[in-house]
């Protein structure tokens, strides 16, 4: 039987690595399953080709935690799995009733974050805290990755709209939806993904494909038919045969159209020539949309050279974060509540040291309002600065409704305005200072 | 309301770009919707860091085509969308009954393919052929991307098992499932993704996380508890504090274990040292698993230097195809059946020329059995060589059951064995010759 490989939203329990479940069974057998612990999720570093990260994906992570359960079929699969041959039957029964009932603190989506800063902190029973690792990492990584890339592309476009055209090159159909959401929250003006528009209320935009032009054979006729049907939204694709001639054919079609799109060739030279053709025909109000393997540096260079492009369609580079398609996200046990009290936990592997204890990020600003440095300290401290992690779930229940995508987008724009200019450059600038408290530094030096 | 953003498998219609739907409406209004046409999907080129591609994702593409429909809510969304303000109501009614009833030919999954070779060819009504573009590209790109990367990693491991550990770094939860499938079909030995194991019958494997070690505080105790519970599958993670001492602690735990895992540090030197510690303790049968940002070149270099590693866990690099996280996949109208007969269609944009007409790939082999060159010709030709595209759907119905994932995997292994050695090297070799027939070349030179 063929399958789409969309997970079953009602039973997300097995969307995890096998070792999470063997460890979960081990904790259970040894009476540790319900021990209260804290895990933190963070990116080890900002990639070398970025100056910052934009937190994304929390809504989907919270949805997962509230939704998490195991179906009978999933539990039967585990019962038959050779790894669990020695695990007593009551563990499988426990899985059937398992729900996430812990506490979650997180950095709000759209917030600027840096390496080693916890984006999400879970306090709850050890067993379930372990099981959720894989899904939480995947979910927060994907949208943080694309939001961080999108913020660069939007910044490079200097106020001109950037549209996500990337669904076809995202890593599968769900990735297209996730990318559309992440791109929009970080400032893109819309997406071509219609289902993302319906589910998330993101503006959806589009032009036409070369197939439309080719289906008619004649370019003028193709443009005329399109303009007649879509007079308010018509963007005519003029590069199928010859771009300047395409612009002249768009005018010759004698219909209303809002924009023309260039999808190939030297976009700088062609946009200049097309602008002149349009202006000479009195079409000063017709916009020029450019697309075709664009990214933030190409957009910056086009605008620096004076290319009269009004809107950018960005696909592959945006939704795959092509120059760095991953983040160094990890999820670490940092604290345990034992009979002897709270114990910090940390890993001391070479180059992979982690700081113990539940933490908070305290962000400072300078006199101009720019953010100037972060202190990561124990959550029980009360350091100076704006605390970034806020309570999201308490006992598995929402502390307050999650913000809307529009509110997240507004928050992200405000965040970008508080960045010192060096962090908004496309090149790597002087790193933003993130300091760990003396107590935390002392704890890992021990 | 929060959502996971898993698409609704029963109604995949809106998982497309807006322009596919505006064009579809346009074709409908102008009486072209039911015109019989052919679209082809292909990658423009093999990426510079690859020598070949492994076709993947066909099962999910076929599932989509057979499943495709629009829900009432989706159609209502389109009715309210400003782009469709001038589209008559009967188009929306037509969408409600739309099903894919065309013909599909495709290259079987697991087959080696090259740039410009059609992986999938659809012949059917223009309107639906246009709508399915976005989803088909995303689906075939994702698995072809990961399968192509996986084949390199598996080749570099020279027969040692490679396990997909990448679910947490895939581009969202569905991407993790798709990556697990693609990695397995291209030769990986298994995955850590439990749901992929359940849904696809892929062997699932795992070790333990640093959290397990840290939860116990004491490494010997952590190993002992794990070995007691999982005597047949125990792989002990020995790098949490100090790797050689971890190996000694594993032995000191006094339990059965199958393997140790190294996840950080100099894997070459550490594996050698750990091997000696294990052997000195009479544990010659204990395997060494290595992981930690591995890829095909690191694996090759480790093995070349004699590192005694038995199994490789590969994550991020595999599931994101990190060195090139995308493929140049396009979907082009190539042929139209008009009143005047069959007309070839092609795009002449600079650097983006496409060949017209429905095509077939004919593959030749040399005397040693290695594949030696492909000819792409019109599907109506009968050229020499093995035709690669085979019929999959006729009138929307399966021509024959799709092959099992195991059969695909076997086919892929056979394909790799027929490759001339230069194509199996990690470096870019002399390109494999792909020639277009004289008729097709003449058609684009016109």
List alpha helices for B12-132, DSSP H. 18-29, 58-67, 72-80, 89-97, 126-131
Distance CA(B256)–CA(B231), nearest Å, equals 6
Q: State residue B3's pLDDT score.
A: 85
Cβ-nearest to A3 among B21, B63, B210: B63
Indicate which of A349, A356, A443 best probes the interface with B, i.e. most B CBs within 10 Å of its own CB.
A349
Q: Are B146 and B183 within 8 A, CB to CB?
A: yes
CA angle centred on A233, ends A230 and A238, rounded to 5°: 90
State whether residue B83 sits within 8 Å of chain A by CB. yes
pLDDT at A349: 64
Chain B CB contacts of A18 under 8 Å are: 192-194, 197, 204-206
Domain residues for B282? 156-319
Map residue B158 onto helix, strand or coil.
Answer: coil
Do A242 and A118 reside in the same domain of the chain? no
Q: Do B193 and A67 touch (CB under 8 A)?
A: no
* Cβ <8 Å between B5 and A199: yes
Contacts of A85 in chain B (CB under 8 A): 232
B177 plus B308 within the same structural domain: yes
Q: Do B173 and A27 touch (CB under 8 A)?
A: no
- Distance (Å, whole) CA B268 – CA B301: 9
Q: Are residues B130 and B62 in the same domain?
A: yes
Tokens of A350: 């070479």
Same domain, A312 and A331: no
- Tokens 């792989």 belong to B235
Please tell me which residue of chain A has the smallest CA distance to B29. A229
**What pLDDT was estimated at residue A1?**
62
**Can you tell me which residue has the tokens 């060949």?**
B355
Of B4, B210, B226, nearest to A26 by CB-CB distance is B226
CB B376 within 8 A of CB B355: yes
| Closest CA of chain B from A278, distance in Å | 20
Mutation site for A-interface testing, chosen from B174, B267, B396 by largest number of A Cβ within 10 Å: B174
Q: Which residue has the tokens 């200097």?
A: A158
Residue A206 near residue B16, CB atoms below 8 Å: no
Q: What is the CATH number of the domain that holds B330?
A: 3.20.140.10
Q: Are residues A77 and A83 in contact, defined by beta-carbon separation less than 8 angstroms? A: no
- pLDDT score recorded for residue A216: 85
pLDDT digits (tens, 9 = 90+) for A317-345: 999 999 999 999 999 999 999 888 888 98
How confident is the model over A71-81, as pLDDT tens digits? 999 999 999 99
Q: What is the pLDDT of residue A350?
A: 61
Same domain, A104 and A251: no
My answer on whether A84 and A198 are in the same domain is no
The residue of chain A nearest to residue B211, with distances taken between CA atoms, is A333
**A295 and B CB contact within 8 Å:** no
| Residue listed under structure tokens 């993904």 | A193
Chain A contact set for B142 (CB, 8 A): 170-172, 175
Q: Are residues B298 and B350 in the same domain?
A: no
Q: What is the pTM of this model?
A: 0.97
To the nearest whole Å, the CA of A324 is away from the closest chain B CA by 7
Quick check: B317 and B146 in contact, CB under 8 A?
A: no
Substitution target from A1, A18, A392 for chain B, most B beta carbons within 10 A: A18
Give the residue among B113, B53, B111 at the shortest CA–CA distance from B412.
B111
Examine the domain organization and report whether A306 and A285 are in the same domain: yes
Phi, then psi, of A343 in degrees rounded to 5? -120, 130
Express each pLDDT in A91-134 by its tens digit.
Answer: 999 999 999 999 999 999 999 999 999 999 999 999 999 999 99
pLDDT given at position B356: 94
Residue A7 lies in a domain: no
DSSP element (H, E) containing B343: strand B341-344
CB-count exposure of residue B2 (10 Å: 0-12, 13-18, 19+): middle
Is the CB of residue A240 less than 8 Å away from at least one CB of chain B? yes
Residue A172: its chain B contacts at CB < 8 A?
138-139, 142, 171-172, 174-175, 178
The interface pTM score, or ipTM, of the predicted complex is 0.97
- Is B168–A141 a contact, with Cβ atoms under 8 angstroms apart? yes
Q: Which residue of A181, A264, A325 is in closest CB contact with B5?
A: A181
**Residue A339, pLDDT score:** 86
What distance in Å separates residue B67's CA from the closest CA in chain A? Answer: 9
Q: Is there a domain that residue B2 lies in?
A: no
Q: Residues B278, B201: one domain?
A: yes
Domain count across chain B: 2
Residues 6 or more apart in contact with residue B397 via CB below 8 angstroms: none
CA distance A88 to A64: 27
Question: Is there a single domain that holds both residue A284 and residue A225?
Answer: yes
In whole angstroms, what is the distance from residue B316 CA to residue B325 CA?
A: 11
Query: Cα separation of B338 and B317, whole Å?
Result: 47
Residue A11 falls within a domain, yes or no? no
With a cut of 50, which residues of chain B have pLDDT below it? none
Q: Do residue A60 and residue B192 have CB atoms under 8 angstroms apart? A: no
Nearest of B137, B102, B138, B107 to residue B120 by alpha carbon? B107
Identify the pLDDT of residue B2.
Answer: 73
| Residue pLDDT, tens place only, A219-236 | 999 999 999 999 888 999
Cβ-proximal residues to A233 (8 Å cutoff; 6+ apart), any chain? A205, A258, B22, B82, B83
Phi–psi pair at B341, nearest 5 degrees: 105, -170
Residue with tokens 């027939």: B437
Closest CA to A198 of A179, A184, A177, A182: A177
Chain B residue with minimum CA distance to A140? B172
A-chain residues near B39 (CB < 8 A)? 211
Compute φ and ψ for B365, nearest 5 degrees.
Answer: -125, 155
Distance of CA A1 to the CA centre of its chain: 33
CA distance B65 to B391: 14
Q: Do B229 and A351 touch (CB under 8 A)?
A: no
pLDDT band at A354, cuts 50/70/90?
confident
Collapsing DSSP to helix, strand or coil, B277 comes out as helix
Which of A224, A265, A221 shows the shortest CA–CA distance to A243? A265
Mutate to test the interface with B, among A88, A172, A178, A209 (most CBs of B within 10 A): A172
Spatial CA neighbour of A124 closest among A79, A44, A68, A86: A68
Q: For residue B170, list chain A residues with Cβ-Cβ distance below 8 A.
A: 138, 142, 171
Q: In sequence order, what are the residues at sequence separation of 6 or more whose Cβ sits closer than 8 angstroms to the Cβ of residue A331?
A: A39, A40, A41, A133, A136, A137
- Cα distance between residue A178 and residue B2, in whole Å: 13
Cβ separation B239–A172 shorter than 8 A: no
Q: Which of residues 176-235 of A touch B (CB under 8 A)?
A: 176-179, 181, 192-195, 197-199, 204-212, 214-215, 217, 225-226, 229-233
Helix (H) or strand (E) holding B203: none
Q: How much is the average pLDDT of A297-322?
A: 98
Nearest by CB to residue B7, choosing from A12, A73, A173, is: A173
- Whether chain B has a CB inside 8 Å of the CB on A116: the answer is no
Q: Do A15 and B167 touch (CB under 8 A)?
A: yes
Tell me the angle at which helices B18-29 and B89-97 cross, rounded to the nearest 10 degrees.
110
Distance, CA of A30 to chain centre: 38
Partners of B378 in the β-ladder? B359
Verify that B141 and B161 share a domain, yes or no: no
Last residue of a domain, one of A302, A319, A336: A319
Whether residues B299 and B196 fall in one domain? yes
- Return the pLDDT at A133: 98
Q: B398 phi and psi, to 5 degrees?
A: -60, 130
Find all residues with CB under 8 Å of A346, minimum gap 6, and list them.
A332, A334, A353, A354, A355, A356, A443, A444, B214
How many other C-beta atoms lie within 10 A of the C-beta of residue B380?
10
Nearest-neighbour CA in chain B from A138: distance (Å):
4
| Residue B11 located in a structural domain | no
For residue A209, the domain's CATH number is 3.20.20.70
The answer to whether B345 faces chain A, any CB pair under 8 Å, is yes
Angle at A143 between CA A142 and CA A144, to 5 degrees: 95
Q: List the 63-82 stretch of A: residues with Cβ below 8 A of B.
A: 63-64, 66-67, 73-74, 77-78, 81-82
User: Do the domain assignments include residue A6?
Assistant: no
Q: What CA–CA distance (Å, rounded) separates A314 from A320?
A: 11
Cα–Cα distance, B182 to B409 (Å, whole number): 9
- Residue A347 backbone phi and psi in degrees, to 5: -105, 140
Q: CA-based angle B154:B156:B158, to the nearest 5?
A: 80
Task: Identify the CA nearest to B41 among candidates B130, B174, B110.
Answer: B130
How confident is the model over A343-351, as a mean pLDDT? Answer: 75
Closest by CA to A9, choosing from B333, B1, B77, is: B1
B192 within some domain: yes
Say if CB B277 and CB B244 are below 8 A apart.
yes
pLDDT score for A314: 98
Please give the helix or strand (H or E) that residue B341 lies within, else none: strand B341-344
Kindly report the number of other CB atoms within 10 A of residue A395's CB atom. Answer: 10
Residues of chain A neighbouring B193 (CB-CB closer than 8 A): 15-18, 134
Query: CA-nearest residue of chain B to A74?
Result: B198
Chain B CB within 8 Å of residue A175 CB: yes
- Burial letters for A131-161: b for 16+ Cβ neighbours within 10 Å, e otherwise? bbbbbbbbbbbbbbbbbbbbbbbbbbbeebb
Place of tokens 């969202």: B172
| Chain B closest-CA separation from residue A159 CA (Å) | 23
Minimal-distance CA residue of chain A relative to B236: A19
Q: Does A333 contact B211 at a Cβ distance shorter than 8 Å?
A: yes
Q: Of A319, A350, A378, which residue constitutes the final position of a domain?
A: A319
Chain B residue numbers touching A21 (CB-CB < 8 A): 194, 206
Instruction: Measure in Å the smallest separation between the Cα of A68 and chain B Cα atoms.
Output: 11
Q: Is residue B407 part of a domain?
A: yes
Quote helix, strand, coil % in chain B, to nearest 5. Answer: 40, 20, 40
User: Read out DSSP for B204-228?
Assistant: B-----HHHHHHHS-HHHHHHHHHH
Give residue for tokens 């790799």. Answer: B416
Contact B388, B366 (CB under 8 A): no
Weakest-pLDDT range from A113-117, A210-214, A254-258, B277-281: A210-214
**Is B6 in contact with A7 (Cβ distance < 8 A)?**
yes
Domain boundary among A303, A319, A335: A319
- Asked whether residue A5 is domain-assigned, the answer is no
């Amino acid at each position: 039987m063929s399958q789409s490989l969309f997970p079953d939203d009602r039973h997300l329990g097995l969307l995890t690595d096998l070792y999470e479940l063997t460890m979960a069974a081990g904790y259970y057998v040894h009476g540790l399953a319900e021990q209260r612990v804290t895990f933190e999720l963070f990116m080890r570093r900002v990639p070398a080709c970025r100056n910052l990260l934009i937190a994304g994906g929390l809504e989907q992570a919270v949805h997962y935690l509230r939704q998490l359960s195991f179906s009978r079929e999933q539990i039967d699969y585990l019962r038959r799995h050779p790894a669990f041959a020695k695990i007593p039957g009551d563990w499988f029964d426990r899985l059937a009733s398992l729900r996430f009932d812990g506490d979650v603190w997180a950095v709000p989506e759209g917030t600027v974050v840096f390496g080693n800063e916890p984006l999400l902190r879970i306090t709850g029973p050890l067993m379930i805290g372990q099981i959720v690792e894989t899904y939480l990492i995947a979910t927060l990584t994907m949208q943080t990755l694309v939001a961080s890339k999108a913020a660069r592309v939007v910044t490079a476009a200097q106020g001109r709209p950037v549209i996500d055209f990337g669904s076809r090159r995202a890593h599968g159909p769900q990735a297209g939806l996730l990318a559309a959401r992440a791109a929009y929250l970080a400032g893109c003006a819309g997406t071509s993904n219609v289902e993302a528009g319906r589910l998330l209320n993101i503006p959806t935009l589009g032009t036409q494909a070369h197939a439309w032009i080719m289906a008619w054979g004649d370019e003028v006729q193709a443009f005329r038919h399109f303009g007649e049907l879509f007079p308010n939204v018509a963007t005519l694709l003029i590069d199928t045969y010859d771009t300047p001639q395409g612009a002249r054919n768009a005018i010759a079609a004698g219909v209303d159209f809002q924009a023309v799109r260039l999808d190939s060739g030297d976009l700088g030279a062609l946009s200049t020539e097309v602008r002149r053709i349009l202006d000479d025909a009195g079409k000063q109000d017709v916009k020029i949309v450019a697309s075709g393997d664009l990214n933030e540096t190409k957009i910056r260079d086009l605008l620096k050279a004076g290319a009269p492009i009004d809107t950018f369609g960005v696909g592959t580079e945006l939704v795959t974060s092509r120059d760095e398609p991953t983040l160094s996200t990890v999820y670490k046990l940092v604290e345990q509540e034992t009979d002897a009290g709270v114990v910090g936990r940390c890993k001391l592997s070479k180059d992979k040291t982690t700081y113990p204890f539940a933490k908070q990020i305290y962000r400072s600003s300078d006199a101009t309002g720019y953010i100037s440095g972060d202190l990561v300290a124990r959550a029980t401290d009360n350091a100076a600065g704006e605390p970034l992690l806020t309570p999201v779930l308490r006992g598995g229940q929402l502390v307050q409704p999650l913000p809307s995508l529009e509110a997240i987008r507004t928050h992200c724009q405000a965040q970008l305005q508080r960045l010192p200019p060096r962090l908004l450059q496309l090149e790597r600038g002087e790193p933003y200072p993130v300091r760990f408290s003396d107590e935390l530094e002392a704890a890992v030096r021990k």
